[in-house]
Structure 1
Amino acid sequence: MKALRLTAWGEAPEPTEVEQPVPRGAEVLVRVEATGLCHSDLHVIDAAAGALPYRLPFTLGHEVAGRVTAWGPDADGVEAGQRVVLYGPWGCDSCDRCAAGRDNYCDRRDTLAWHGAGLGRDGGMAEYVLVPSARHLVPIGDLTADQAAPLSDAGLTSYHAVAGLRHALGEGTTTAVIGIGGLGHLAVQILRATTATRVLAVDTREDALTLADRSGADFGTLARADTARVLRGQTRGAGADAVLDFVGNGQTLELATGILRPGGELAVVGSGGGRLTVSKPGVLPPGFRLSLPFWGTRPELTEVVALARSGAIHVETERLPLSAAAEAIGRLRRGQVRGRAVLVPD
């Protein structure tokens, strides 16, 4: 079968012919219908040798939707032809957190040679993907594959980040979303669907603000020198009750802490390499709480799928064939992807 595999750190992944996997034990074989392309894929491709515990080569792709085609003799709860989305973070499968569907916070994560599908283990940029257990599969019913695949990270990570702040997002509150890309535009929709907060959107691109508006943002502004003042004006000077930073570089963290209300909530989701210096006393908002959400839980993925099937959230996608993966990766690097690029088998 065809697969896009990472064979050397810091080099472009290679289209390769590999043997179609055969499920054994509790494994399940899924025929891939769509795979989302994520900035995390770029971080993996660009990683220096030794920076990640993964062993080369492996197939990329951690946002995967498809159809169950075969399974091993010990697999439970699967049906031939069942359409599913993969829960991407795969943990040790034996700690309490994995047992509760919280593989994203697996107690043994630092000892594993993988972090999930396409992250050290073969992922979905191929015709088939082998899943270690049916517990990593969430049914999607009639949801289209290009909508379902990005839910497993872009949707799930955004949902998990919002869920951690939801207690503070009642009537009369304001939340700023920085970075309206694959995750950010879904965060805007999830905030509108699950909270009563007013949503402010920030990005460096006009087309991203247009996407934020379509996603339900109450206000949008370009990131520039006066953005903090503009956003504070939208909160009558008080500051935002919560900020979700989907970029995470030095500039966005400075903006986030500059607009956050005392006692507010800051969730840093993006991995842009920014740093916060914590000191007391200092310039950070007094009483603020910081979270670093990572991916999400399996029960939360079920909730995200339900939101999508109800029509409450919709992923802005650009479909490309798997053979055009190099083009898609290049466009993602240049910031030219609107929403989420989704690769489909040729």
Structure 2
Amino acid sequence: MRAVVFENYQSFPVLKDVPRPVPGPGEVLLRVAGAGACHSDVAVYRDFAEGQPGAQTPGFVLGHESSGWVEEVGAGVEGLEIGGAYLVYGPVGCHRCAACAAGADTLCRNAATNPYMAIGLGRDGGMAEYVTAPARNLVPLGDADPVAAAPLADAALTPYHAIKTALPQLAGGGRFALVVGLGGLGQIAVQILRALTGATVIATDMKEEAMRTAEAAGAVVVPAGPGQVERIREITGGRGVDAAFDVVGASPTIATCAASMAQGGRLIVIGIDGGPYEWSFFTAPYESTISNTYWGTIPDLHEVVEMYRAGQIVPEIERFALDDALEAYRRLEAGELSGRAVVVPHGN
């Protein structure tokens, strides 16, 4: 079968023929419907060197946002419909610890000894004609479009989990939320905030087109650049935002969020740019918190799919044939995509 493979550190992936996978006990073989191209993939093949924290050992098939139709089941798998459409939960933990028992594989207590991080991150992913996954990692899509659903596995799950942790800050009237970075995750974050809270959503980015999309979804937009924090505080009546979501994670964006927070507010860094931030008791709003988040849980993904099926989450996607997958990654790196690139191995 054809697949997009990460072969070497700090090298562009290749499109090549690889053996079709075989599902092991407790696993399922999916005929891939769609696979989202994510900036995390770019970090894997472009940024990390051997031995660095977060580096994944090559080679493996990329694609940690995947959906597909059940083609074959391994030993011990029951209750899944052959031909049924499912979304793949990417993280794979030990399946034995308390965190994994709750479906929070991202918090697996045995992560240091697990052979890989996730499907598409250390283990062969969905940027191919077929992919295998543990049966427990599949979330049914019913009659919903599985191609458009593929990005939900990360681009929706990650902001959804972050937003859920900040709901106490956003409960009640007169609340404000800030989203910094309006790529695929940021746009969906705006939609989720609008669906789950009554907060005024402020969104900011450097791209005019991205801000117009967020504005159409109900956000109040503020251009990045000089006066940005002052404008955000003006919108909030000078108080600041109750929850800020940094979908970039660079030092300047973290600083913008921190400077925009209200007392008792919460800043959650979602993006993995890795920028440092210097905290000070005398400049941080009193009783505010700064935290990060990583992906989400299997129960979270079930809830995300329900929001998708209800029309509350509508991913903007651009479809690519498998033969054009490398072009999708090139355009992703160049910042030429307005929506999520989804590779469709078996036709549009």
Fold match, TM over 0.5?
Answer: yes
2:339 maps to what in 1? 339
Matched ranges for 1:105-124 at <5 A: 105-124=107-126
**Contact 1:77–1:134, Cα closer than 8 Å, also in 2:** no
Count residues with an aligned counterpart. 343
2:103 maps to what in 1? 101
Moved more, 329-338 or 295-304: 329-338
Paired letter, 1:82 = G
- Report the TM-score when normalising by structure 2: 0.96
Work out whether 1:273 is the aligned partner of 2:249.
Answer: no
The residue matched to 1:110 in structure 2 has which SS? helix
Deviations 1:44-75 (A, max 9, x none): 11111222463321000000010001011212
2:140 maps to what in 1? 139
2:261 maps to what in 1? 260
Paired letter, 1:205 = K
2:84 maps to what in 1? 82
**Contact 2:139–2:302, Cα closer than 8 Å, also in 1:** yes
Paired letter, 1:275 = P
The residue matched to 1:251 in structure 2 has which SS? helix
**Contact 2:161–2:296, Cα closer than 8 Å, also in 1:** yes
Q: 1:69 aligns with which of 49, 71, 81?
A: 71
**Contact 1:146–1:317, Cα closer than 8 Å, also in 2:** no
Structure 1 unpaired stretches of 5+? none
**Contact 1:24–1:72, Cα closer than 8 Å, also in 2:** yes
- Report the TM-score when normalising by structure 1: 0.97
Deviation, 1:110, is 2.4
Instruction: Tell me the distance in 1 between the aligned counterparts of 2:240 and 2:97.
Output: 41
Work out whether 1:298 is the aligned partner of 2:298.
Answer: yes
**Contact 1:6–1:56, Cα closer than 8 Å, also in 2:** yes
Deviation, 1:299, is 0.5
Instruction: Tell me the distance in 2 between the aligned counterparts of 1:37 and 1:54.
Output: 17
Instruction: Tell me the distance in 2 between the aligned counterparts of 1:25 and 1:19.
Output: 19
1:56 maps to what in 2? 58
The residue matched to 2:209 in structure 1 has which SS? helix
Instruction: Tell me the distance in 2 between the aligned counterparts of 1:261 and 1:233.
Output: 12
Matched ranges for 1:169-208 at <5 A: 169-170=170-171, 171-208=173-210
The residue matched to 1:212 in structure 2 has which SS? helix
The residue matched to 1:290 in structure 2 has which SS? strand
The residue matched to 1:183 in structure 2 has which SS? helix
Instruction: Tell me the distance in 2 between the aligned counterparts of 1:55 and 1:271.
Output: 19
**Contact 1:32–1:129, Cα closer than 8 Å, also in 2:** yes
**Contact 2:14–2:326, Cα closer than 8 Å, also in 1:** no
**Contact 2:15–2:326, Cα closer than 8 Å, also in 1:** no
**Contact 1:55–1:113, Cα closer than 8 Å, also in 2:** no
The residue matched to 2:184 in structure 1 has which SS? coil
**Contact 2:3–2:15, Cα closer than 8 Å, also in 1:** yes
Paired letter, 1:279 = S
2:131 maps to what in 1? 129
Deviations 1:190-227 (A, max 9, x none): 0011111110000010011011112221x101101110
**Contact 1:173–1:198, Cα closer than 8 Å, also in 2:** yes
1:308 maps to what in 2? 308
Paired letter, 2:41 = D
Instruction: Tell me the distance in 2 between the aligned counterparts of 1:56 and 1:163.
Output: 34
Deviation, 1:333, is 1.2
Paired letter, 2:300 = E
Work out whether 1:249 is the aligned partner of 2:260.
Answer: no
Work out whether 1:92 is the aligned partner of 2:94.
Answer: yes
